[in-house]
Amino acid sequence: MLAPIRVICLKELLDNLRDRRSLTVAFVYPLLGPILLGLLVTAVSAMMSIDRTQQSDITVKVAGGERAPELIAFIADQGARIEAVGGDPQAVVRDGEAKVVLHIPPDYGERMAGEGRARVEVILNAAQLTAVVASGTVTRLVRDFNNRHARDTLRSVGLTLDDLSPLEVETVNVSMREARINDFFLFMVPPFIIFTVFIGGVYLAIDTTSGERERGSLEPLLANPVSRWQVMLGKFAAALIFTLMALFVQLAAFKISFSLAGAGPYSLAGRLEPMALLGLVAVCLPLIMFATAIQIIIATITRSFKEAQTWLGLMPLVPAMPGLAMVFVPVNPELWMMAIPTYGQTLLMGQLVRGDPVSTLNVLVAGGATMAVSALLLWLCARLYARETLLWGA
Amino acid sequence: MIEVEALAKRFKGPGGRVVEAVREVGFTARDGRITGLIGPNGAGKTTTLRILCGLMKPDAGRATIDGLDVVAETRAAQARLGVLPDNRGLYPRLTAREHVRYFGRLHGLKGAELERRIGVLAERLGMDDVLDRRAKGFSKGQTLKVALARALVHEPPNLLLDEPTNGLDIASSRAMRELIRGFRDQGRCVVFCSHIMSEVAALCDHLVVIADGRVVAEGAVDELRARTGLQDLEEVFLSLTGQSLDAPTPPAVAPATAAS
């Protein structure tokens, strides 16, 4: 009973391993997520490092610095290099000649002398993330100048800064690990995995169903002494194995990407340990069954290869949505959520990726519910395959 | 032996209209004989063949392959049948050998025996040169040979051949006819569908003429000639299927005017 399923599965695997389109969808698409996240982590790590590291490397471009010699001397004392900028400072930034300019307005001296208070401008193009980070550094230097001034003034009347701030605020982090800004990116891993689960075997599912019909090879195949449900299961198994391979490729790529991306406190190198990876595969297996069954159903009921391709191309977006939303609005996993295929897995994958504890009951409920729905879908697939209209599509 | 009794099959056509593809088809195709199944387009041949292959269930009547009911014992009946359907698509990324091996395995064959049979078929069908080439870009003749080889790999005692010479050149058609005669001489039951009457006349021992979903005549070629009083098989066919014998008159050609 299993022999024909194995023969059909092996044939479909061989056939599709020779197909560039199937291979691209299964083994190149899954790389996009790890590459993108790796680049993001590296970029953020690089920018944050600029902000933190030794300020001797920092050049502050100043317009009208001669009007505030005390401030400029303070900034230079902090280790920053001062570079004077001529002309309209806003135009200099707008034209890209400088990312950030500290502008001392012409009325600076007059107001300082009169009110003892004046305004300086930090001019930046906020469309550039690096400019935003650099402007933070300049702003902090000005704030430090203010603080020194405040301290000196208070000291002259016998007070300290602390006397003005009776409350001290301390943030207590209960995350399992040391909280890092790059943990934010870990939330983006589950939607990428969901996408792979729903796209990995899609080309194979279409090729072996609508494609087989369009090539005219379905009729001779079904004339062999093999039950229709066996033919369906053989194709299902092949699509499932292809998707599983795509998932392995993606997880390996995530592991490599995380070990290379970022540096120092921004590195994700320690993430996705072997146990977390195993957990991800275990959580995804029932979901792959679910996704593959849907793919085969759609490829069976659509009339042509192109129609199937249109529907199945859109399909991964729907299950990936909750995961994408959770990047910005995290959800606390509850048991009932686990019974919803893809949603439960998205939550569990999030916990595994972040290294949070995972409830065994949740894993079992998510896996059980998704497998039950998949079994129902497979039964429906078998019914669809048994119909005479399978030959011409309906 | 293939026996068909009072088959009927209806379909729901466009707009819910019911189409009676086969109304009452019955015939017997004996072993060691080539039985021609002929009829105009839409007569019900393809539906009849699909029922015999186990691809469709009849609404009424029954069909058996060597006594095995195609509905009740589909798999056993299919195991005794080799089919060359009208739809004979190949997998472009598989070699000819892999095609035949695939179907052989689906019939439960494996190992050295399967490889031996592939070798024998390749030699017999003259496809040694394409055996390890991928099917993409195969000519019609090469495609046909592969489709035939995969239908024959389990050495079926019964064969359904739908338009087996369609698209072949003269030499290949001739070789195919010889092959089909060879099947008969081996004692197999061959059901042969074709629109080429000269080929039907040259090959078939027995003819079953289908029109409008019914068998309208059955017998040896000479019997049908005697019954209709016509010699030319094409005319016999048109007469039996109730189609017009009047060919449209070609338009008159005006004599060229000589330029002076």
Interface test with B, best of A217, A235, A385, A391 (most B CBs within 10 A): A217
A18: closest chain B residue by CA: B93
Q: Does B182 touch chain A (CB under 8 A)?
A: no
Q: Which residue has the tokens 């379905």?
A: A218
A11 touches B: beta carbon within 8 Å = yes
Nearest-Cα distance to chain B for A286, in Å, is 29
In the sheet with B18-29, reading across from the earlier edge strand, the strands are B68-69, B60-65, B2-12, B18-29, B214-219, B206-211, B33-38, B189-193, B158-162, B81-84
pLDDT by 10s per residue, chain A, length 394: 789 999 999 999 999 999 998 899 888 999 999 999 888 888 877 776 665 545 456 788 999 999 999 999 999 998 888 999 888 999 999 888 888 999 999 999 899 888 888 999 999 988 877 788 788 889 999 999 998 988 898 999 988 888 888 888 887 766 554 455 667 788 889 889 999 999 888 889 888 888 899 899 999 999 999 999 999 999 999 999 999 999 999 999 999 998 888 777 677 777 788 889 999 999 999 999 999 999 999 888 888 888 888 888 788 777 877 777 776 777 777 888 888 888 899 889 988 988 888 899 999 999 999 999 999 999 999 999 999 888 877 5
Q: Which of B53, B98, B106 sits opposite A226 (nearest CB)?
A: B106
Asked if residue A83 lies in contact with residue A60, where contact means CB atoms within 8 angstroms, the answer is yes
Please spell the DSSP secondary structure of A15-79, one letter per residue.
Answer: HHHT-HHHHIIIIIHHHHHHHHHHHHHHHHHHHHHHHHS-GGG-EEEEESGGG-HHHHHHHHHTT
List the one residue out of A69, A30, A9, A5 whose CA is nearest residue A256: A30
- Predicted TM-score (pTM) above 0.95: no
Contacts 24+ apart (CB under 8 A), A77-80: A78/A141, A78/A144, A79/A54, A79/A55, A80/A55, A80/A56, A80/A141
| Residue of B50, B90, B105 lying closest to A217 (CB–CB) | B90
Q: B 96-155 residues with CB below 8 A of A? A: 98, 102-103, 105-108, 134, 147, 150-151
CB-based contact (8 Å) between A1 and chain B? no
Q: CB–CB of A226 and B75 under 8 A?
A: yes
Residue A297 DSSP symbol: H
- End-to-end Cα, chain A, rounded Å: 28
Q: Do A11 and B85 touch (CB under 8 A)?
A: no
SS3 label, residue B217: strand
Contact assignment for A223 to B150 by CB distance below 8 Å? no
Query: Do the Cβ atoms of B107 and B80 come closer than 8 Å?
Result: no
Asked if A228 contacts A222 with a C-beta cutoff of 8 angstroms, the reply is yes
Sheet holding A81-84, edge to edge: A81-84, A59-63, A100-103, A121-124
Q: Where are the domains of chain A?
A: 3-45+180-391, 60-164
Q: Which of B92, B107, B147 comes nearest A225 by C-beta? A: B107
> What 8-state DSSP symbol labels residue B254?
P
Domain A60-164 indexed as CATH 3.90.950.20: no
Contact (CB<8Å) B93/A215: no
Kindly report the backbone phi and psi dihedral angles of residue A63, in degrees, each rounded to the nearest multiple of 5, phi listed first. Answer: -110, 125
Q: Pick the residue of A18, A224, A392 with the most B CBs within 10 A to test the interface with B by mutation.
A: A224
Which tens digits make up the pLDDT trace of A40-72?
888 877 776 665 545 456 788 999 999 999 999
Structure confidence by residue, pLDDT tens digits, B212-223: 899 989 999 889
Higher pLDDT, B75 or B248: B75
Which residues face B215 on adjacent strands? Answer: B210
Contact yes or no for A226 and B90 at CB 8 A = no
Burial A341-367 (b: 16+ CB within 10 A, else e): bbbbbbbbbbbbbbbeebeeebbebbb
B71 touches chain A (CB under 8 A): no
Nearest chain B residue to A4 by CA: give it. Answer: B106
Q: What is the pLDDT of residues B170-212, one digit of tens each?
A: 888 888 899 999 999 999 999 999 888 888 888 999 999 998 8
Query: B79 CB near a chain A CB, below 8 Å?
Result: yes
C-beta atoms surrounding B258 within 10 Å: 5
Residue A167 host element (H or E): none
Chain A neighbors of B107, CB-CB under 8 A:
224-225
Q: CB distance from A215 to chain B under 8 Å?
A: yes
Inform me whether the C-beta atom of residue B31 falls under 8 Å from chain A C-beta atoms: no
Chain A residues in contact with B94 (beta carbon < 8 A): 11, 14-15
